[in-house]
A = this chain, B = another copy of it.
Amino acid sequence: MKRAVVLLSGGVDSSTVLAIAKAEGNEVYALSFDYRQRHRVELEYAKKMAAAAGVARHLIVQFDLREIGGSALTSGMEVPKDRPSKEGEAQEIPVTYVPARNTIFLSFGLAWAEVLGAESIYIGANAIDYSGYPDCRPEYLGAFERVANLATKASVEGAMKFRIMAPLISMKKSEIIAKGGEIGVDYGLSWSCYDPQPGDKAGEVVPCGRCDSCRLRAKGFAEAGMRDPLAEDR
Contacts and interface: CB of A to CB of B under 8 A. Distances in A.
Contacts of A114: 70, 99-100
A139 interface: yes
Contacts of A156: 93, 134
Contact of A63 (B61, B98, B139): B61
Contact of A100 (B67, B111, B137): B111
Copies in the complex: 2
**What's the dominant secondary structure at chain A's contact region?**
helix
Interface stretch (A44-52, A102-110, A189-197, A220-228): A102-110
A2 interface: no
A143 interface: yes
Contacts of A115: 68-70, 99
A77 interface: no
A103 B63 CA distance: 16
Interface stretch (A17-25, A144-152, A165-173, A178-186): A144-152
A112 to B, nearest CB: 5
A157 interface: yes
A65 interface: yes
A130 interface: no
Interface of A: 59, 61-65, 67-70, 93, 97-104, 106-108, 110-112, 114-115, 133-135, 137, 139-140, 143-144, 146-148, 150-153, 155-157
Nearest 3 Cβ contacts at the A-B interface: A70-B115, A100-B111, A99-B111
